[in-house]
Amino acid sequence: MSVITHLSVSASNLHDVNETVSTDVLVVGGGPAGSAAAIALARSGLDVVLIDRAVFPRDKCCGDGLTTLALRELELLAFDPRTVDDWFEVDGASLRSPSGRSVDVPLDGPGTYAAVAPRLQLDNALVELARAAGVDVRDGHGFESMIEHDDRIEVVADHLHITTRYVIAADGMWSPVRKALGINEQGYLGEWHGFRQYGRGATGTAAKQLHVWFEADLLPGYAWSFPLPNGRFNIGFGVLRGGAVKTKEMKQLWLDLLKRPHIVEALGPDFELEDRHTAWPIPARVDEAVLARGRVLFTGDAAMATDVMTGEGIGQALLTGRLAAEAIDAAGALHPSVAAGIYEREVEHHLFADHKMSRALGKVLAQPWGARGAIRVVDASGVWGRRNFARWMFEDEPRAVALTPSRWHRKLFKRPGVTLR
């Protein structure tokens, strides 16, 4: 037996342990990536334990938007949207350029191409789906330390000692598992910074329609309003870290945005904000991230898998969670390097080209002329062009499809939307 010496389970940790569990796979983190991985693994017949420091239901700062990619991944999980009380399906979006030109793009069926679901409810519903699949969910148990052997990993998590063949780290941008392995990047704050608040009393178009405002002072970022039932909405903005907007300026910018006439018009004159605003960093460089190390696979924000152009990460989280589960299942009893290799290749196949395309498009949209030109082209493209731009924007087809002919197929842009029932 060899032991990787840079990891340790301290004596004090072991003295506090009052339960020992053995499993095939330990999933650290109960967000979309962790739950998707746990569900897929359990349904394939493996023993799975999922731990999370929080007790569910718990909130997660997010825009709450679900792209077509996210919806298709939920469909693979047989997810029932009726388990989310405030699930809201969107059939259209309004895009506004820095010059004030607005264009409506359809997201109509058959099926659903975009939806909004508060993370408080969505993440809890996914954890409950994992329980129903047979996953041993231990919320309220945070990862503390680990030690890696040739044939297993030992983990201590709040009075729990877990022996496992694999660990799937779905534990966020500042992954404690990554830190335990000694491969975290000191001072890393992500590529984007998001700012959001909930509101109520929307009576304008934002009560039913998704809005994206490409404000000149936010580029290449944008502001949004995503509708929820009964006139509620999730409103916020995202900016590129290191760009024109400084983090310390975001609160004042937020107050200014809420007074802009086109935003007030979309929300209606009687809207009110709920509770307090929240902000969060967004990691978006999956093509540079360490995706696997030994018996550990990193997913979701721990794999920095957020879309670099939009800051959307739920779909990428669900996708990487599923890919990690499939890699472990496919590797079976083979050396863990087989699972790591499968996972790395699949993530590269699904995300790397799109990530590079999104980065290039983001540079164009960073300029007011680029954002204005994009909206102008969409507006002039007719119903077919607007509909397919919306599907491309909402990740129904890979962003890099134009540059990767191997992905072309006869039904390109013709697939029906998602049916989650």
| CATH number, residue 11 | 3.50.50.60
Domain final residue pick, 225, 258, 282: 282
Tell whether 146 and 157 lie within a shared domain: yes
Tokens for 81? 């949207």
Which pTM does this prediction carry? 0.93
Tell whether 171 and 134 lie within a shared domain: yes
Domain final residue pick, 282, 307, 333: 282
Q: Is 23 exposed, middle or buried (0-12, 13-18, 19+ CB in 10 A)?
A: buried
CA 310, CA 222: separation in Å to the nearest integer? 9
CA 49, CA 406: separation in Å to the nearest integer? 38
The total of structural domains in the chain comes to 2
Return the H-helix or E-strand segment holding 90: strand 88-90
pLDDT at 316 over 60: yes
Q: What percent of the chain has pLDDT over 90?
A: 70
Question: What pLDDT, on a 0 to 100 scale, did the predictor assign at position 257?
Answer: 96
CA 327, CA 322: separation in Å to the nearest integer? 9
Question: What pLDDT, on a 0 to 100 scale, did the predictor assign at position 31?
Answer: 98
Q: What percent of the chain has pLDDT over 70?
A: 92
pLDDT tens digits for range 367-376? 888 888 888 9
Domain final residue pick, 255, 282, 309: 282
pLDDT at 6 over 50: no
pLDDT tens digits for range 236-293? 999 988 777 887 888 899 999 999 999 999 999 999 999 889 999 999 999 999 999 9
Q: Is 242 exposed, middle or buried (0-12, 13-18, 19+ CB in 10 A)?
A: exposed
Tell whether 214 and 278 lie within a shared domain: yes
Least confident segment among 179-188, 296-305, 373-382? 373-382
pLDDT tens digits for range 135-150? 999 999 999 999 999 9
Name the pLDDT band for 8 (thresholds 50, 70, 90).
Answer: very low
Tell whether 144 and 233 lie within a shared domain: no
| CATH number, residue 218 | 3.30.9.40
Tell whether 388 and 326 lie within a shared domain: yes
pLDDT at 298 over 50: yes
Tell whether 124 and 36 lie within a shared domain: yes
* Domain with 268 in it: 192-282
Tell whether 70 and 154 lie within a shared domain: yes
Tell whether 312 and 234 lie within a shared domain: no
